[in-house]
Structures are given as structure tokens and as C-alpha cells.
Amino acid sequence: MSASSIPGRIRRLNKNQKLSAAGISTVAAAALSLSLVPGSAQAESESQAISGAPVVFASAAGAPQAKTIQSSLIEQHSTAEQLVKAADAAKAEKAAAVKAKAEAASKVKAQAEAEKAAAERGTQAASRSEARTPVFANNLHGWISESLAIMKAKGIPGSYDGLHRNIMRESSGNPNAVNGWDINAINGVPSIGLLQVIKPTFDAYHVSGTPHSQYDPVANITAAANYAADKYGSIDNVNSAY
């Protein structure tokens, strides 16, 4: 049996067969090489074109979007500035309102204190005035002294001695004395009081600020002194019935 007919054995090639196989392999390899080179170059060119394309497209398509983002950022910045300004304005307005309220309260307080001080000064002045106002005794000396003070204020002349002398002659110092027997009494207008003044004379020469009564000692003395000043120049010049 020959080697080629034994199963499982590889048949050996002769020299010519080996050369033929080698030639075929060489041709096939060359063909494959020629077919692969152009394809590889084209693929590389296409790869470069494809890799460059997105840059162009991204640049063209992203420009409006970038501008939109920039505008949005500017708008947000402007809005933030406006909010800050509004907050500052509100803060300043609030501070101004607080200041105005404080000033108003201060003015009210100052006015109240001024009014209180004025009232206190008025009270003190009134107290001092009352302290300076003499208190006259309810007797002949006091009546004459008070009448002299009123006469001085009204410009009516007269002295303590002139008043006292005429009072003692006319009524002995009795403010309720009434003459019921002279001509005046007969005529229905009796002389009354410390200086024995009739009603018509008292009414004509009554001095304001004194009671309108002939029996009031101060009013009687002052009216009589006013009458004597008009008729005789002063009560000091009267030494008898007048």
C-alpha cells in the first residue's frame, strides 16, 4: 500500500507542486495587499473628514446658544443689581422713617418739658407774687394800710396820718357808724362808715377793685380819700366836716 492511500497520512507534495503553491500564495498576498492599501487610505481620509466636521458644526451651532447664555447672565446680573438697589432704598427709607419718628417724639417731649417748665415758673412767680402781696390785718390799722396801697396804685394822694385823723373824728374807727340826725339823714341819705360818706358821694367816687359797699372799711376810706383829693387836693387837707 502506498503512503497516499493510507488513511490519516498527509500526502507529500512534489517539487513542482510546492512551487505552484508558493506562487499562488504570493499572488494572493499581493492582490490582498493592493486591495487593502487604497481602502485603508480612504478610511483614514474619511476618518479625518469626519473628525473635523463636528468642530465646524459645533462652532456654527453653539454661537447663538453662547450668546443666549451670555445675555441671560447679563440679565441676571442686572436683576441682582436692581434687587440690591431696591433693598438699599427700602433700608434707607426705613431708617429715614425711624429717624423722623424719633425726631417727632423728641420735639413732643421737648415741648412738653418746656410747657411743664413754663407752668412751674408761672406757679413759682405766682407764689412769689403772693408772698409779696401784703396781708393786711382786719382792724383799723390794716384797713388804712390797705387803702393807702390802693390809693398809691390809683394815684390818689393821702397819708396814714391824714386818714387816721379824719376817721377818728368822723366815726371813732367804727366801720358801721351811721349819722341819723344831720341834714343828710333828714334828706334820707345818712352818712355811713369810717369817713361818713353818703351814698351819692360813695357811688360817684368809688374806686374799682374795692367792694361796692359803704360799710366796707377799705372801700369807704378809699372813696372818701378820692372825693377829698377832688375837692380839697388831699385828705390831708381836711380837718373838719367835709
Q: Is residue 53 part of a domain?
A: no
Domain membership of residue 39 (yes or no) is no
pTM: 0.48
Does 96 map to a domain? yes
pLDDT, tens digit, for every residue of 162-211? 999 999 999 999 999 999 999 999 999 999 999 999 999 999 999 999 99
| Residue 85 included in any domain | yes
Say yes or no: 146 and 129 in one domain.
Answer: no
Q: Are 238 and 166 in contact (CB under 8 A)?
A: yes
Q: What is the pLDDT of residues 90-109, one digit of tens each?
A: 888 888 889 988 888 888 88
Quick one: pLDDT at residue 61? 52
Q: Do 145 and 224 fall within a single domain?
A: yes
Give me the domain span that covers residue 89: 78-133
In the structure, what pLDDT confidence band is assigned to residue 52 with cuts at 50, 70 and 90?
Answer: very low
- Phi first, then psi: give them for residue 175, nearest 5 degrees: -70, -15
Q: Are 242 and 225 in contact (CB under 8 A)?
A: no
Instruction: Report which of 97, 238, 87 is spatially closest to residue 168, judged by C-alpha positions.
Output: 238
The answer to whether residues 145 and 232 belong to one domain is: yes
Q: Is residue 232 part of a domain?
A: yes
Q: How many CB atoms lie within 10 A of CB 237?
A: 14
CATH number of residue 145's parent domain: 1.10.530.10
pLDDT at 130 (0 to 100): 58
What is the average per-residue pLDDT within 114-118? 86
162 in the same domain as 193: yes
Angle among Cα 223, 226, 232 to the nearest 5 degrees reads 130
Same domain, 151 and 186: yes
Burial of 145 (0-12, 13-18, 19+ CB in 10 A): middle
Determine the Cα–Cα distance for residues 143 and 224; give it in Å rounded to an integer.
Answer: 13
Q: Which range in 27-36, 57-66, 159-168 is most confidently predicted, on average pLDDT?
A: 159-168
Give mean pLDDT, residues 54-82: 67
Measured CA to CA, the distance from residue 215 to residue 194 in angstroms comes to 8
* Residue 157 forms part of a structural domain: yes
Q: How many domains does the chain have?
A: 2
Q: Indicate whether 89 belongs to any domain.
A: yes
Q: Which of the four pLDDT bands, split at 50, 70 and 90, describes residue 124?
A: confident
Residue 5 binned pLDDT confidence (cut-offs 50, 70, 90): very low
Do 109 and 147 have their domain in common? no
